[in-house]
Structure 1
């Protein structure tokens, strides 16, 4: 081969904006930059030396071109090695195609590094091309792209999933059963009994399967050495060895979350400053359609300070394309919603369905099939590298936790279904949401995910699609004014229109409205005109909590890095700083309580490590303050920090768990709408039925509404018809005799049967051996055969009309809560519901007081013995 002599160095453009005109090989259709793109590029020029810069542009506004121009300008002007990170392989290929259209030299490097072409890797290493890869291309233990000088993080709002997973050890019950079981047994004594019993079961109740707990930090430190040995012995040769290798020496700075399906070990945020391929870059650029204002980008990326480029004037009001957003659950029940979804999915060639997790995806797929959807239902494995398999046929694409990185313009897809509230995509989020109730923290993440999802099928100014929002929790969150006010003005207007068209409607009308929008240009024109007029009247309003959360983020990350390095004195100072920043509003109180707990734990660690016993008193103050700030969170009620006495006043944990469970049931029935009254009516009708299966079903449902976990056990030999239990502290076993004549005496046989239920419960439920166990006969009969008295033991008695009264009292209490709640916070709702249940004598131990001893009902056929 002849020697190649380089030509003269090319002229370097004076700016990223000027670079565009030099791209002579770009697609002729791309004639000029849009004004807002040019504005952003000029704004960026002031931050060429900034380490971390965030760029926000709504979907369809040309974000990819802006980021590629910045990247190419740095490559040409500074000779930097550039890595452009995408969430998925499919999106990496898509960005690679865009780079080709723009005439920007780039190479796509995805998958295993052993399959990279040497010339492609060399093109990155020599700085002759931009490398387009996935987050995993940089965030792994042996990255091929380890010497990058500038990083572009596309869809940066999703970094929590893709960056955080590098520092997450996810121990699956099914895939790593031995390690899961061994860890659970090691930690069991330092976890709540109620949680452990559920985690140990092979056949947990639905409530136990959903439950999530967190190991307190002092307990983690106590077991750290044993945990390291145990995990090391199980992960050798497994994929788990890679995240474990970065966590092993920093286990003390992690948290351990446990559920029936998995155990998750991870730090609160990814400590990216410790990962050289990321942190050594000259500049990191974060691109997103929604950056948010509450510090979530910093928490998701683990970066303490990120400069944000402001949106160009006017772009904050606009979105791409037009959507008709329908919330059918505002008017019709779940079965009708599922039928309408299936009908619309069937009527259009393609539909995209997004779910928050694997469980919801499985439920949704089953529902689609049961409702008659026959076209192929694809998942993420079918679109790893390209969307062609979906767009090339009539199909449904069902994805979990994938709210970004999909480009389905025009006829590629006209139906989008968002099924379920995306507020708990991993165990840490689930704990923060369901146990800590840190809703103010998660609301921005949820809003961002929904905003991203809404743009998947409307990718340009003339695009349009129908969006169906499905699920009670999602519907309740979307209709909140304060939630909508944080969204772009156009989305606010679309939601207003959607809510109005989803109320007082029928299943058939939902389908007809969607079809009219898709088929009639006049209908879309009327929607467009309405949005154009109304969007100018709307403003994006940050919640009062957003400023406090944004201020707190840097202190939270200071804590992270101090704990990661083992500097617990600095961690204590930072945790207290986060507490101070979170002061001033009830919305952030649960999250502030969490940071008080972390501060208390850090104080204990410093006291133990540095022999400073005076800090134990400070830890107690911090712990007690945390309890005071979260008056309705049962997780804190059981908080015991080492060497610190329990608080002077303790709430009844059984009562707290029951109220939390009852509120969850009430939420499911809806804060507004007819579903609640319909459910209460059906409950009372079931409890009046003389047919045993119907009555027993109503009895089990009444238990759940009262805050018990309710198991129908009547199919087992010698078992109660229903077992109510709460907190593994109170067990009530019912024998129901709804089909027996009222004037017939309660026989010896029936008495023996029901009195034996207490023994059955203690044998069936290990926790019951140290709990309050009560066997109850529910019947219309009002007299006990005198010969049966010796067999009655401590059995209780409840007339079925009294059961119906309990149901009526419960309906009245919950109805009052719905009427008075208004915009109450989660804590306020719990306090209100607890008061109403207490006043109505419906709390667990109060219910026991409403029951009579069976012996007191002795009748007249023989003398009592």
Structure 2
């Protein structure tokens, strides 16, 4: 007998259900396996319900606990609340496709085009990627358009990755080959030259590691000229996707010159240009690894009061099982090559994924990699292959989030470095705020994002291997655990307990480390039990917001409105918060540059005075028009005493000293992309050895890259060409060293001797160059010998914390030829002119 059940009333109409959990239970078309909500999902939805009308809400859930379903249910219920249309924004198109699939599995109506009539009439949730909304040709409509698509509720998934993506989508990059590049250079070349003639020459010569900001006073005063240059090119591929967002506020933008071109970006993302987002009644930010939510205030203009109290489950223990290992701490003499070979042996039976920050690092894995991928299409294809079965060892270049490597797709995850700052403004900030709370927190967050790739559910497991020396240095800091999410912190502590228990054991060899990793990959019961115990009673924590965030956003928003005085005052408040509440002078100096840029519009003289005062807190900011006077520094103690005091002030134990000097050695490497880091490392090395290290060219715009001074009046004038790729020292480089020597002779007082030093892969000068007879070259051979000595210095002084004892330090300085003038005679060779 045929019977049509649709002729019978189904009882409660789904559209009247206003509680997400009840809606889930009532959904008639859920596919098998979705019989009930997980406890964590139910708890979060229950806590969202009474707060649903707050404009900005943060939901924190661990990866693999069903964030997507929670977000979709919130959107569907919001449609029932008449708070539609409902929009789900994923960080990438691939993740948007996955979210749409989950919606269909639930039986929820979805579309993927925001122009769909079903979306606009609140009949379906629209699921798309972040960049579909936040671009200058957005389908949703801009603020200056005749109309825009109304949105009632927005869920932003993986909000931590959305923050970085939003910056990228708001940035113009004008490469040297672009028609606007040369006219812009002509417009600002004089101002750039006044900031630093040597750096400008380096950028013109193609040195990729260099960058400098076009002075804000010049940029603002010539904004009309910039507009005239760029406006005719507004429809080109270079400008079309960003120009509509910045055209009205070019004067507010920051312009940075790099080897890749001129980069133009606003102080913060121009979220005000997207009325569909700004006018939404409900905005929900979902994240797994964003420990501090302050960036939601600066980047999305989120309400601080709501953001300060995120919605979290009762427990943070629903993570998969992870063990974090630093093999080269367990086996100190283990070389990178030996470690890569050992990791490749694991890839014979288990999928291994390696995250690297650059192609240069990826090439170091080329001998053992089964595949190396970098584009979004390549990565998506590689992930599909990994999920399907054994692949081996896959290297992924500069992608630390948005990748799902669950279960056998990745049993071993290697993090061989953190993503490098991509834009000129990011690199400036990273340099200016090095070792500050701001940068450390950002790096820790990226590390945690990377770790999350290999464990995607409560039942998953993964061994995480940390290779990069800087990353090892980062996670060994005593203040880092407090910056991690509670679950990751507990897992890292388990890993440290393992490392402490292995300390001193004779069987801790590379083979022993491989055996330990296999206990994780095979799911050994003792490992799984220890991993579960580590997460017992772990709960989420509320982290105080960064006090500068609200003031930074208020300053930018006021400037956009044209209220320059309010903008300047808000920027001043951010500086004061950094200095007095956060006790971070470097950050205060950096924010002073931004405050001075706002102040220039109403009081140029005061803006310059602000800059002049702030350079004492941070030498990496713009120098005022009037310039600065170099203030030489010289140790007041003998070399060994100065070194011992510096080391005792900066290191709690010998282990930290060894780790930090390994990171310093990594920065001293030959690398055209990291010349800024190399110069800073040469300066820092001086302090570790009892000299005084300074960077005159960076501090005042003239002089050498690095200057070493000792208490006896000796000075090493050092030009660092660690990014040089030519076979010979060029005439330009050797003449630059000569100019720096003349500057030192004129500027420095109480000098007994000046030794010119050039750090370059070669010590042979091209024929047209004219080096002085005293010039010493640190070439590839000498550099390698010096690195060996630095490592030996750290190893010896780390024993029983002997670095605190000046006599022990003196013994090592003499033994390793690191003392006084002997340093340059032992680790520098006389340069020669090419014959």
TM-score, normalised to structure 2, is 0.73
Residue 350 of structure 1 and its aligned partner are, at CA, apart by 3.1
Say which SS state the counterpart of residue 551 (structure 1) adopts: coil
1:410 corresponds to: 407
Counterpart contact for 2:291–2:485, Cα < 8 Å? no
2:117 corresponds to: 122
1:161 corresponds to: 164
Paired residue for 2:741, among 732, 753, 772? Answer: 772
Counterpart contact for 2:549–2:574, Cα < 8 Å? yes
1:640 aligns with 2:660: no
Residue 315 of structure 1 and its aligned partner are, at CA, apart by 1.8
1:321 corresponds to: 320
Question: Equivalences for 1:168-317 in 2 at 5 Å?
Answer: 168-173=171-176, 176=177, 178-191=179-192, 192-202=196-206, 204=207, 209-234=208-233, 236-293=235-292, 295-305=294-304, 307-308=306-307, 310-312=310-312, 314-316=314-316
1:55 corresponds to: 59
CA, structure 1 residues 811+486, in 2 after alignment: closer, same or farther (shift >3 Å)? closer
CA, structure 1 residues 588+678, in 2 after alignment: closer, same or farther (shift >3 Å)? closer
2:764 corresponds to: none
CA, structure 1 residues 261+760, in 2 after alignment: closer, same or farther (shift >3 Å)? closer
Give the Cα separation in 1 of the matches to 2:201 and 2:373. Answer: 37
2:388 corresponds to: 392
Residue 74 of structure 1 and its aligned partner are, at CA, apart by 0.9
1:347 corresponds to: 348
1:672 corresponds to: 657
Give the Cα separation in 1 of the matches to 2:729 and 2:631. Answer: 30
Question: Equivalences for 1:314-713 in 2 at 5 Å?
Answer: 314-316=314-316, 318-330=317-329, 331=332, 332-344=334-346, 346-356=347-357, 360=358, 362-370=359-367, 372-375=368-371, 377=373, 379-384=375-380, 387-392=383-388, 394=391, 396-422=393-419, 424-437=421-434, 439-499=436-496, 501=498, 505-519=508-522, 521-522=523-524, 525-535=525-535, 547=544, 550-584=546-580, 588-607=584-603, 616=605, 618-619=606-607, 622-630=610-618, 633=619, 635-636=620-621, 639-641=623-625, 645=626, 650-652=630-632, 671-673=656-658, 706-707=682-683
Say which SS state the counterpart of residue 292 (structure 1) adopts: coil
Residue 534 of structure 1 and its aligned partner are, at CA, apart by 4.0
Give the Cα separation in 2 of the matches to 1:172 and 1:31. Answer: 54
Residue 841 of structure 1 and its aligned partner are, at CA, apart by 5.7
CA, structure 1 residues 652+817, in 2 after alignment: closer, same or farther (shift >3 Å)? farther
Residue 407 of structure 1 and its aligned partner are, at CA, apart by 2.4
Say which SS state the counterpart of residue 75 (structure 1) adopts: helix
Counterpart contact for 2:373–2:397, Cα < 8 Å? no
Residue 511 of structure 1 and its aligned partner are, at CA, apart by 2.3
Give the Cα separation in 1 of the matches to 2:382 and 2:117. Answer: 25
Say which SS state the counterpart of residue 369 (structure 2) adopts: coil
Give the Cα separation in 1 of the matches to 2:475 and 2:246. Answer: 37
Give the Cα separation in 2 of the matches to 1:180 and 1:396. Answer: 42
Say which SS state the counterpart of residue 137 (structure 1) adopts: helix
Counterpart contact for 2:64–2:458, Cα < 8 Å? yes
Give the Cα separation in 2 of the matches to 1:180 and 1:264. Answer: 10
Counterpart contact for 1:304–1:557, Cα < 8 Å? no
CA, structure 1 residues 304+624, in 2 after alignment: closer, same or farther (shift >3 Å)? farther
Say which SS state the counterpart of residue 315 (structure 1) adopts: coil
CA, structure 1 residues 228+470, in 2 after alignment: closer, same or farther (shift >3 Å)? farther
Residue 340 of structure 1 and its aligned partner are, at CA, apart by 3.1
Residue 85 of structure 1 and its aligned partner are, at CA, apart by 0.4
1:132 corresponds to: 127
Residue 338 of structure 1 and its aligned partner are, at CA, apart by 3.0
CA, structure 1 residues 384+407, in 2 after alignment: closer, same or farther (shift >3 Å)? closer
Counterpart contact for 1:438–1:590, Cα < 8 Å? no
CA, structure 1 residues 813+626, in 2 after alignment: closer, same or farther (shift >3 Å)? farther
CA, structure 1 residues 796+164, in 2 after alignment: closer, same or farther (shift >3 Å)? closer
Give the Cα separation in 2 of the matches to 1:445 and 1:679. Answer: 20
Residue 35 of structure 1 and its aligned partner are, at CA, apart by 2.5
2:761 corresponds to: none
Give the Cα separation in 2 of the matches to 1:384 and 1:21. Answer: 33
Residue 211 of structure 1 and its aligned partner are, at CA, apart by 3.1
Counterpart contact for 1:90–1:386, Cα < 8 Å? no
Say which SS state the counterpart of residue 462 (structure 2) adopts: strand
1:729 aligns with 2:718: no
Counterpart contact for 1:148–1:277, Cα < 8 Å? yes
Residue 401 of structure 1 and its aligned partner are, at CA, apart by 4.2
Residue 554 of structure 1 and its aligned partner are, at CA, apart by 0.6
Give the Cα separation in 2 of the matches to 1:182 and 1:596. Answer: 30
Query: Which stretches in structure 2 are left out of the alignment for 5+ residues?
Result: 1-6, 141-148, 636-641, 669-677, 686-694, 707-727, 746-753, 758-769, 802-817
Give the Cα separation in 2 of the matches to 1:842 and 1:556. Answer: 48
* CA-based RMSD: 4.7
Give the Cα separation in 2 of the matches to 1:60 and 1:71. Answer: 20
Give the Cα separation in 1 of the matches to 2:568 and 2:374. Answer: 49
TM-score, normalised to structure 1, is 0.71
Counterpart contact for 2:405–2:456, Cα < 8 Å? yes
Say which SS state the counterpart of residue 256 (structure 1) adopts: strand
CA, structure 1 residues 585+211, in 2 after alignment: closer, same or farther (shift >3 Å)? farther
Residue 380 of structure 1 and its aligned partner are, at CA, apart by 2.2
Structure with larger Rg: 1
CA, structure 1 residues 348+81, in 2 after alignment: closer, same or farther (shift >3 Å)? farther
Counterpart contact for 1:93–1:386, Cα < 8 Å? no
1:89 aligns with 2:90: no
Give the Cα separation in 1 of the matches to 2:233 and 2:110. Answer: 41
Give the Cα separation in 2 of the matches to 1:383 and 1:809. Answer: 38
Counterpart contact for 2:612–2:624, Cα < 8 Å? no
Give the Cα separation in 2 of the matches to 1:292 and 1:406. Answer: 19
Query: Which stretches in structure 1 are left out of the alignment for 5+ residues?
Result: 609-615, 684-701, 710-723, 733-758, 779-791, 823-838, 855-865
Q: Which has the higher helix share?
A: 1
Q: Which moved more, 1:7-16 or 1:54-63?
A: 7-16
Give the Cα separation in 2 of the matches to 1:386 and 1:125. Answer: 36
CA, structure 1 residues 292+703, in 2 after alignment: closer, same or farther (shift >3 Å)? closer
CA, structure 1 residues 183+390, in 2 after alignment: closer, same or farther (shift >3 Å)? farther
Residue 143 of structure 1 and its aligned partner are, at CA, apart by 2.9
Give the Cα separation in 2 of the matches to 1:60 and 1:93. Answer: 17
Counterpart contact for 2:315–2:537, Cα < 8 Å? no
Say which SS state the counterpart of residue 584 (structure 1) adopts: helix
Say which SS state the counterpart of residue 290 (structure 1) adopts: coil
Residue 397 of structure 1 and its aligned partner are, at CA, apart by 4.7
1:321-379, CA deviations, whole angstroms, 9 ceiling, x for partnerless residues? 111222223233333333333333x32453333334xxx1x123322222x33457575
Counterpart contact for 2:356–2:415, Cα < 8 Å? yes
Q: Which moved more, 1:192-201 or 1:227-236?
A: 227-236
Give the Cα separation in 1 of the matches to 2:663 and 2:573. Answer: 49
2:718 corresponds to: none
Give the Cα separation in 2 of the matches to 1:103 and 1:60. Answer: 20
1:836 corresponds to: none
Say which SS state the counterpart of residue 414 (structure 2) adopts: strand
Counterpart contact for 1:810–1:842, Cα < 8 Å? no
1:363-407, CA deviations, whole angstroms, 9 ceiling, x for partnerless residues? 23322222x334575752235589434433525554444333222
